[in-house]
């Protein structure tokens, strides 16, 4: 429906100016409020809305495009020859040379220069002008500097999907290269797009890895051969072992056959000391330790099942997570297990039962790192659950020294190769701890937060100065430690020896006492057993045990609650006191005498 | 002519001298006791360095001129005697 208003106007009135007239205001409509209508509406809660009248600004981040530079060399060819002489032609060059030599000017110049030169040569032969005086007096100051560590370089995983850097290995000569193994240890965490590559980095160039290693499955661990720096051996997630030759390219030279490999990811692989330099052994959570000769990867040369009952039963076997091998003791080696036991084994034993010599228990969780002290091979370090412990080979019941329980899991650790009392640990909250137990026993000497994500691996370079740690997102960080932490202090060896001996003795005494007490208990319980009637021993004790533990548990909880309540009370009392004293003070302040 | 030969031979037979090179103004080695590739390298590089050193000395004091240049790397000493047209380079292992 169209609303139309029609009006007429005379033609001679078009374009005429408008005549305005003034008239007073007229009220057309007056609508009064009707309270009855208000009941149809609900009043809204008054709300405060802040309004600010300021300049509007926006934040914008800009980053320049990444500039990749590459260094190349240029080969210079001989030049400078005059146009008519072809430098390739021997004859022409010889002829040119002879021509020059016949020049008069040449003659005089050479005579003059020659005499100058002779003078200097004779000078050189007479005395060494750059001789260093006072060379023997090396100023040895007690470095008062704070121990510190500095990040030098960060190597990031170039792939889109980040994998954890699970193992690092330094190049054996000169340590200018670092091999990093990347894998994903989460259960079934591997996505189909995840790249399987592991890289070798040149520590001077963090932008691009120097070499890529392409295994068949993710590599969990990787080691350089200490005898031949071109060979690396890696253990992969699917249980196979492969070895690479860096001269031959990125593909593995040979891989072990699947039937004879491990059934679980290979967590650690170490090179052995042998004449050929081609022996390695590997450990995995399927409970086996296998020995390989890399020239013949189709089958392991030897096999050991970590059965604590020494029966070689694979079902009972303990899963191995770390291995330890010291080249000075080639027949012994140690295995750290998932169950928290360290198993010490003898390689040269005749029967498999004798292979497992003894076990050390004391940890609550899998032992992620296991290493002997390079200066004191009888003592070794284990890193597991929330503590790091130092053990002596002779004491099997407990460790001789241990750190306190930390807030985060410890994931890896190693000794410093230059100082017997220094070791490093990394935690799941991304911190690196440097411990010097001759300096401070309760806390780390230096605690450094390397990154926000968890750190999984750690490796110190052979000179003790640099260390690399790998994180969950595949970042390997290279740190340099202050010289105080990597130079041998004056009587460090003697002090460390004394400390180890002291702690070992203490543990021995404790062990002896425990044994005595146990013997006494056993003899006592045997006597009481004879007196009691034999009932369903097994179930009874389990039920009793259950009720007893329940009662104990509740006792502990109640005690804790009471303690908390007491503390809370104390706190309130303290706060009240504080408020009262504050009141008193303010009242003093208002005293006119006090005012200045 | 023979004296030139004699001089150069005398220089070469001094104690510790590893090699002698005579280079002309264009950087072409005229006379050398080392192998060709090393000679070419030394000639090219030291020629440029001597030019630069000479221009530096003259910039500092126009009356001055470069008479001798000695470079002491870790392994052995390189001595360069410059002239307007030629360059005499001697590499010596200094006695300790």
B38: nearest CA partner in chain A? A78
Which residues in chain A have Cβ-Cβ distances shorter than 8 Å to B75?
none
The predicted-structure confidence for A95-106, as pLDDT tens digits, reads as follows 877 887 777 788
Between chain A and chain B, the number of residue pairs with CB atoms below 8 A apart is 88
Quickly tell me which residue has 């404790």 as its tokens.
A510
Query: Averaged over A43-68, what is the pLDDT?
Result: 85
User: Using CA atoms, how far apart are residues A426 and A410, in angstroms rounded to an integer?
Assistant: 6
In order of A14, A18, A20, B81, the CA distances from A11 in angstroms are 6, 15, 20, 114
How far is A165 from A576, CA to CA, in rounded Å?
A: 54
Percent of chain A with pLDDT over 90: 0
Contact between chains at B86 and A78 (C-beta distance less than 8 A): no
Q: How confident is the model at residue A337 (pLDDT cuts 50, 70, 90)?
A: confident
- Tens-place pLDDT, residues B33-43: 888 888 888 88
For residue A192, pLDDT over 80 is answered with no
The pTM (predicted TM-score) of the whole model is: 0.60
Contact criterion met (CB < 8 Å) for A106 and B86: yes
Indicate the range of A199-203, A259-263, A346-350, B72-76 predicted with least confidence.
Answer: A346-350
Q: Does B25 touch chain A (CB under 8 A)?
A: no
Q: Are A367 and A336 in contact (CB under 8 A)?
A: yes
Q: Is the pLDDT of residue A594 over 50?
A: no
Kindly state the tokens that stand for A508: 């021995």
Q: How many CA atoms lie within 13 A of A538 on its CB side?
A: 0
Whole-angstrom distance, CA of residue A190 vs CA of residue A201: 24
- CA gap A423, A389 in Å, rounded: 11
- Contact A109/B95, CB-based, under 8 Å? no
pLDDT of residue A534: 45
Predicted confidence (pLDDT) per residue in A513-555, tens digit: 888 888 888 888 777 766 554 444 444 567 778 888 888 888 8
- Tokens 């010289």 locate to A483
Selected residue with higher pLDDT from A585 and A457: A457
| Per-residue model confidence (pLDDT) at position A127 | 75
Q: Tell which CATH architecture fits domain B16-92.
A: 2-Layer Sandwich (3.30)
**How large is the average pLDDT for residues A441-455?**
85
Reported as a single tens digit per residue, the pLDDT across A305-319 is: 777 766 666 667 778
Q: CA-CA distances (angstroms) from residue A155 to A9, A197, A222, A419, A450? A: 89, 15, 17, 27, 13
Residue indicated by tokens 């389990």: A542
Q: A130 CA to chain B: closest CA distance, Å?
A: 9
Q: Which regions in chain B score pLDDT beneath 50? A: none
SS (H, E, C) A536-596: CHHHHHHHHHHHHHHHHHHHHHHHHHHHHHHHHHHHHHHHHHHHHHHHHHHHHHHCCCCCC
Which pLDDT score is estimated for A595?
A: 45
Strands A476-481 and B17-24: unpaired
CB A312 within 8 A of CB A352: yes
* Encoded tokens for A169: 């290995």
Given a contact cutoff of 8 angstroms between Cβ atoms, the answer to whether A280 and A326 are in contact is no
pLDDT digits (tens, 9 = 90+) for A123-167: 877 777 666 676 665 555 555 567 788 888 888 888 888 888 888
**Quick one: DSSP state of residue A504?**
H
Which H/E stretch holds residue A354?
helix A352-355
| % of chain A with per-residue pLDDT over 70 | 87
Predicted local distance difference test score (pLDDT) of residue A57: 86
CB atoms within 10 A of CB A384: 27
CB B89 within 8 A of CB B23: yes
Give the mean model confidence (pLDDT) for residues A81-99: 75
- Once rounded to an integer, what is the mean pLDDT over residues A200-222? 85
Neighbours of A4 (CB within 10 A): 5
Closest Cα to residue A117, out of B31, B3, B88? B88
Query: Residue A596 — very low, low, confident or very high, per pLDDT cuts 50/70/90?
Result: very low
Q: What is the ipTM of this complex?
A: 0.78
Lowest mean pLDDT among A21-30, A134-143, A463-472: A134-143
- DSSP class of residue A296? B
Q: How far is A204 from chain B (nearest CA, A)?
A: 24
Q: What pLDDT, on the 0 to 100 scale, is given for residue A537?
A: 46
Q: What burial letters (b/e) apply to A160-195, b meaning 16+ CB within 10 Å?
A: eebbbbbbbbbbbeebebbbbbbbbbeeeebeeebe
Structure confidence at residue A536 (pLDDT): 42
A260/A362 Cα distance (integer angstroms): 33
Residue A265: the pLDDT is 85
Q: Which long-range contacts (CB under 8 A, 24 or more apart) does A84-93 make?
A: none
How close does chain B come to A132, measured CA to CA in Å? Answer: 10
Q: State the pLDDT at residue A39.
A: 80
Domain ranges of chain B: 16-92
Contact between chains at A121 and B24 (C-beta distance less than 8 A): no
- Is residue A196 classed as helix, strand or coil in its secondary structure? coil
Show the tokens assigned to B32. 């050398």
Q: Alpha-carbon distance A232 to B12, whole Å? A: 49
């Amino acid at each position: 429906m169209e609303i139309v208003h029609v009006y007429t106007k005379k033609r001679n009135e078009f374009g005429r100016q408008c005549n305005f007239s003034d008239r007073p205001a007229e009220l057309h409509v007056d609508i009064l409020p009707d309270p009855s209508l208000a009941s149809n509406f609900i009043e809204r809660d008054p709300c405060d809305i802040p309004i600010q009248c300021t300049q509007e600004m926006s934040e914008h981040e800009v980053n320049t495009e990444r500039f990749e530079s590459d260094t190349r060399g240029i080969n210079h060819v001989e030049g400078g020859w005059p146009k008519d002489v072809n430098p390739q032609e021997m004859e022409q060059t010889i002829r040119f040379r002879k021509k020059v030599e016949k020049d008069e000017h040449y003659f005089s110049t050479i005579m003059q220069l020659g005499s100058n030169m002779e003078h200097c040569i004779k000078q050189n032969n007479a005395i060494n002008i750059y001789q260093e005086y006072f060379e023997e007096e090396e100023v040895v100051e007690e470095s008062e500097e704070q121990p510190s560590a500095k990040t030098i370089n960060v190597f990031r995983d170039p792939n889109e999907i980040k994998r954890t850097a699970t193992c690092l290995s330094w190049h054996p000569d000169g340590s200018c290269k670092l091999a990093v193994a990347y894998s994903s240890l989460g259960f079934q965490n591997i996505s189909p797009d995840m790249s399987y590559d592991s890289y070798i980095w040149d520590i001077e160039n963090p932008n691009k890895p120097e070499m890529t290693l392409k295994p068949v499955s993710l590599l969990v661990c990787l080691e350089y051969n200490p005898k031949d720096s071109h060979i690396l051996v890696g253990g992969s997630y699917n249980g196979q072992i492969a070895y690479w030759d860096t001269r031959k390219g990125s593909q593995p030279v040979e891989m072990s056959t699947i039937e004879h490999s491990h059934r679980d990811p290979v967590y650690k692989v170490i090179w052995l000391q042998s004449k050929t330099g081609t022996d390695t052994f590997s450990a995995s959570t399927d409970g086996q330790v296998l020995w390989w000769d890399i020239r013949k990867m189709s089958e392991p040369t030897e096999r050991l099942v970590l059965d604590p009952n020494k029966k070689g039963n694979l079902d009972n076997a303990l899963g191995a997570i770390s291995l330890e091998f010291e080249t000075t003791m080639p027949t012994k080696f140690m295995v750290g297990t998932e169950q928290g036991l360290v198993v010490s084994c003898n390689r040269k034993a005749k029967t498999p039962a004798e292979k497992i010599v003894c076990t050390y228990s004391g940890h609550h969780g899998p032992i992620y790192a296991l290493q002997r002290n390079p200066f004191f091979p009888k003592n070794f370090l284990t890193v597991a659950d929330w503590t790091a412990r130092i053990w002596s080979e002779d004491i099997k019941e407990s460790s001789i020294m241990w750190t306190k329980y930390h807030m985060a899991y410890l994931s890896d650790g190693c000794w410093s190769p230059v100082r017997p009392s220094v070791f490093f640990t990394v935690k799941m909250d991304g911190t690196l701890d440097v411990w010097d137990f001759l300096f401070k026993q309760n806390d780390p000497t230096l605690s450094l937060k390397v990154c926000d994500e968890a750190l999984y691996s750690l490796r110190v370079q052979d000179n003790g100065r640099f260390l690399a740690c790998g994180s969950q997102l595949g970042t390997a960080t290279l740190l340099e430690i202050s010289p105080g932490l990597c130079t041998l202090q004056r009587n460090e060896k003697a002090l460390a020896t004394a400390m180890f001996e002291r702690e070992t003795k203490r543990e021995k005494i404790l062990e002896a006492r425990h044994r005595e007490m146990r013997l006494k208990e056993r003899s006592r319980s045997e006597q009481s057993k004879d007196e009691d009637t034999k009932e369903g021993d097994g179930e009874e004790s389990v039920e009793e045990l259950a009720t007893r533990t329940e009662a104990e548990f509740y006792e502990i909880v109640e005690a804790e609650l009471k303690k908390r309540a007491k503390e809370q009370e104390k706190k309130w009392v303290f706060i009240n006191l504080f408020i009262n004293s504050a009141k008193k003070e303010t009242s003093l302040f208002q005293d006119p005498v006090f005012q200045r | 002519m023979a004296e030139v030969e004699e001089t150069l031979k005398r220089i070469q037979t001094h104690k510790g001298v590893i090699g002698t090179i005579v280079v002309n103004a264009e950087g072409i080695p005229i006379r050398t006791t080392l192998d060709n590739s090393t000679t070419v390298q030394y000639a090219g590089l030291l020629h440029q360095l001597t030019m630069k050193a000479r221009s530096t000395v003259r910039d500092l004091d126009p009356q001055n001129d470069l008479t001798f240049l000695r470079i002491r790397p870790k392994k052995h000493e390189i001595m360069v005697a410059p002239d307007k047209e030629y360059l005499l380079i001697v590499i010596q292992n200094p006695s300790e």
